[in-house]
A and B are shown apart, each in its own frame.
Chain A
């Protein structure tokens, strides 16, 4: 029998990094040399990590409340070798942020890569016409859509803030910003959600996600053609136009841009913020008295109950950090949720406090401290923006767009729903449905 021939494929020698820094892509790019000697790093008795079993990350108790295990790692094994997941966990605030800002050594892999579809579409998020259309579209549509959903909530027999408002808000908003016909919004929402949940390891979700990607691509093709013929004031027209640096978008590009866009953060941050406020009625009352606190509540909510528990970074080359050698291609799981509960950074970190004095309320642009205060780590798992510092003539960052939308929706809820409180005696708790899922309140039954 003939042995199968391995096709060797070398990446192009370089890849674009932050601010255009050229970064070597892989050892293959260095002329095919490889190391033949050992990395001498045997774990010693004192380094054994017997207090935690790596299988816990897949267990229901971790999915329900990951914070005890994360605390244990922070306090005992800040750089934890997870033999089951073949990765290293980073859990301290300063360590997590140091990796997030180190684009030269650590890369974010596209969600399309996780889907096994490398090279699928172009991520056009950072094209300026796209950012402009996105920002102005959200500003224009967020309040009307929120009003519509809140009106629906008022009519509902058993009103639920999570399923009735927030679960639809982000997808409807995206559909409106894209400029999709109103009748298609629900179908779009379903497919979008399937696509965003499918890139993890879960086999049936991956199948659903791939299916959604295919259907969305088919769906967008005629719409793009129509916009190219007759442009409108929406995101699809911006994508279809010839103004983009890298050329007009195909339907696949539109889907890739949505996929890599981490649009889930708006929904996740709103649900958790309101889950926390409803569970802490005295702070909800506080905000009612001072609506300027809504922004702080949003930021403190992201810090306290971070929807994206971990983000994956892969080492671009061998790099020594935290006293260990991280090999090329090594996976570092950075837990923003853990960093946000780091007691060395935030006083009494498990307490939710919208008037917290030690949280930076400015946008973390490329660095996590402004005014000497740490910001909460709240990025989605995606690649950070190429534009960490935004000049005057640029649209607001995605962070700022998301924040402003969340604040606008929250203020609307405060105004429209007086006397808002939890219905029923049971206090809701956030949880992940499966490993890798967002950590969210799933239901928030309310009365008003």
Chain B
């Protein structure tokens, strides 16, 4: 009789694009081990596993993590559009660090609050701010690329300069744009960066959650004073000519009443955290992933260099190929049967945007990065998604009532920032020696699920 043992839980690291063998059913259907979601392998190589789910378990019941997974483009669209059946209300407890925001409201309550600050992130108001965004990008980029470049951030050898693009530009740029729109006081911005980074690491897990919660509390204490001040004396955003475009977001939130009540300091803080959290890390990832992918596909980079208007296509293809956010949670409001599986009311349903974007029922050869692909819609963003003439919008911003409110400004930041980068950095190449390596120590670390950690580039000094 074999000796009973505690089963191994370590999951092998596979070549990118290949799933490890989790066993097969007698009919040949691959089995799926939910422990994969906690593994290092999955963090660096998620796509082949999502392919198994799409092809064999489109509605997957993960009994280890007590949730369901939707992985097909169509099913996720259905769930996102049906905010009655698939609601966004947090179950039991909201995210401790971010707090309760419109992200976690559904139906009428969501629609009432969605537009509190949405106006600054879209349309004319956004267009009027484009010169300011461009100016900010130029200031930041000249700091490390110009003749008086900051020596700390760069290295010079033989007429070439090396920087880590995240540290030099992409980490901070989106947050500073957001700070402007929020109307966050300049003098507190350094502290704000600390709070922001602590809160972001606090999202991760229990060891860091406390640090995140403390940072969130510090931010809230600071915002309390700000709310009182702004309620009496609102501050305004201006366009390039100094004309007022209305109150900035913090003033607006401080002075908003719903059902006759001011928004609480907690609510204002939660919204600030959401706007910065949603607008910081994601846009950083979009910029870095796009440059990483373009620099690894020199012919496509050459095309963009020749015609910078192609950044529009490039950013959409980046968001399809490697978006920064994996997906969104929903809870079923009642029992829902999808593809033969009944999801009980009150269940957590993870809608995996990563997987929708790599669904080959929609995008041909989804693992290929191709800014010229003919099945991706790259035009003006549409709330309900795009589906015509064989083209589909990607799922990085979601669709439906909860479409990312920062989608427009995020796209503008990524494109404007990249255009300025292109203008200032000549002869850009990836510095392969300094790039983080995959487990074999030779090939580059994959983007995996999320954004690449570092992007080292060389350019002519």
Please give the residue numbers on chain A whose beta carbons come within 8 Å of chain B beta carbons, in ascending order: 1, 3-11, 26-28, 32, 34-45, 47-50, 52-55, 58-60, 63-64, 81, 83-88, 114, 116, 118, 163, 200-204, 206-207, 211, 314-315, 324-331, 431-436, 442-443
Q: Do A28 and B6 touch (CB < 8 A)?
A: no
Other contacts beyond A44-B96, A48-B206: 9, CB < 8 A = A3-B74, A6-B79, A9-B336, A36-B87, A36-B109, A60-B9, A203-B33, A329-B344, A331-B66
How many residue pairs link A and B with beta carbons under 8 A? The number is 216
A202 to B339, CA, bound (A): 22
Q: Do A42 and B96 touch (CB < 8 A)?
A: yes
Residues of A within 8 Å of B217, CB to CB, are: 44-45
- A84 — nearest CB in chain B belongs to which residue? B65
Q: Do A36 and B108 touch (CB < 8 A)?
A: yes
Q: Do B38 and A58 touch (CB < 8 A)?
A: yes
A434 to B337, CA, bound (A): 31
Residues of A within 8 Å of B99, CB to CB, are: 42
**A6 and B82 contact, Cβ closer than 8 Å, known pairs A27-B345, A86-B66:** yes
Q: Do B23 and A6 touch (CB < 8 A)?
A: no
A7 to B33, CA, bound (A): 28
With a 10 A CB-CB cut-off, give which of A39, A42, A53, A434 has the most chain B CB atoms.
A42
A3 to B400, CA, bound (A): 13
A327 to B104, CA, bound (A): 14
**A55 and B38 contact, Cβ closer than 8 Å, known pairs A37-B109, A324-B93, A443-B3:** yes
Residues of A within 8 Å of B6, CB to CB, are: 60, 63-64, 431-434
Q: Do B105 and A37 touch (CB < 8 A)?
A: yes
A36 to B100, CA, bound (A): 13
Q: Do B7 and A39 touch (CB < 8 A)?
A: no
- B348 — nearest CB in chain A belongs to which residue? A86
The answer to the question of B158 belonging to the interface, with a C-beta cut-off of 8 Å to chain A, is no
The answer to the question of B392 belonging to the interface, with a C-beta cut-off of 8 Å to chain A, is yes
Q: Do A43 and B96 touch (CB < 8 A)?
A: yes
Return 24 A-B CB contacts under 8 Å, by A number. A6-B338, A8-B336, A27-B345, A34-B106, A34-B333, A39-B93, A40-B100, A41-B92, A45-B213, A49-B209, A52-B206, A58-B35, A59-B9, A63-B6, A81-B92, A84-B38, A85-B65, A163-B1, A203-B22, A203-B23, A207-B25, A324-B93, A443-B3, A443-B4
Interface bits B322-355 vs A (CB < 8 Å: 1, else 0): 0000000001111111110110111110000000
A28 to B333, CA, bound (A): 8
Q: Nearest chain A CB to B113's CB is how many angstroms away?
A: 10
Which of these, A34, A42, A83, contacts B84 with CB under 8 Å? A34
Within 8 A of A (CB), among B55-98: 61-67, 74-75, 77-79, 81-82, 84-85, 87, 89-96
Residues of B within 8 Å of A435, CB to CB, are: 64
Residues of B within 8 Å of A204, CB to CB, are: 22-23, 31
Q: Do B63 and A43 touch (CB < 8 A)?
A: no
Q: Nearest chain B CB to A51's CB is how many angstroms away?
A: 8
Q: Nearest chain A CB to B271's CB is how many angstroms away?
A: 13
- A315 — nearest CB in chain B belongs to which residue? B346
A55 to B38, CA, bound (A): 8
Residues of B within 8 Å of A81, CB to CB, are: 92-93
**A48 and B213 contact, Cβ closer than 8 Å, known pairs A32-B334, A116-B341:** yes
**A4 and B75 contact, Cβ closer than 8 Å, known pairs A42-B93, A42-B99, A118-B342:** yes
- B217 — nearest CB in chain A belongs to which residue? A45
Residues of B within 8 Å of A327, CB to CB, are: 91-92, 331, 346
The answer to the question of B12 belonging to the interface, with a C-beta cut-off of 8 Å to chain A, is no
Q: Do B334 and A10 touch (CB < 8 A)?
A: yes
A325 to B206, CA, bound (A): 21
- A1 — nearest CB in chain B belongs to which residue? B387
Q: Nearest chain B CB to A80's CB is how many angstroms away?
A: 10
Q: Do A203 and B341 touch (CB < 8 A)?
A: no
Residues of B within 8 Å of A60, CB to CB, are: 6, 9
Q: Nearest chain B CB to A434's CB is how many angstroms away?
A: 5
A208 to B298, CA, bound (A): 50
Within 8 A of A (CB), among B88-145: 89-96, 99-100, 104-110
Q: Do B92 and A85 touch (CB < 8 A)?
A: no
Q: Do B9 and A4 touch (CB < 8 A)?
A: no
With a 10 A CB-CB cut-off, give which of B81, B331, B335 has the most chain A CB atoms.
B335
A44 to B266, CA, bound (A): 12
- A81 — nearest CB in chain B belongs to which residue? B93
Q: Do B341 and A53 touch (CB < 8 A)?
A: no
Q: Do A38 and B33 touch (CB < 8 A)?
A: no
Q: Nearest chain B CB to A318's CB is how many angstroms away?
A: 9
**A207 and B23 contact, Cβ closer than 8 Å, known pairs A36-B110, A48-B96, A326-B92:** yes
A220 to B178, CA, bound (A): 67
Q: Nearest chain A CB to B265's CB is how many angstroms away?
A: 13
Which of these, A26, A54, A86, contacts B206 with CB under 8 Å? A54
Within 8 A of A (CB), among B279-333: 331-333
The answer to the question of B34 belonging to the interface, with a C-beta cut-off of 8 Å to chain A, is yes
Q: Nearest chain B CB to A207's CB is how many angstroms away?
A: 5
**A433 and B4 contact, Cβ closer than 8 Å, known pairs A41-B92, A330-B92:** yes
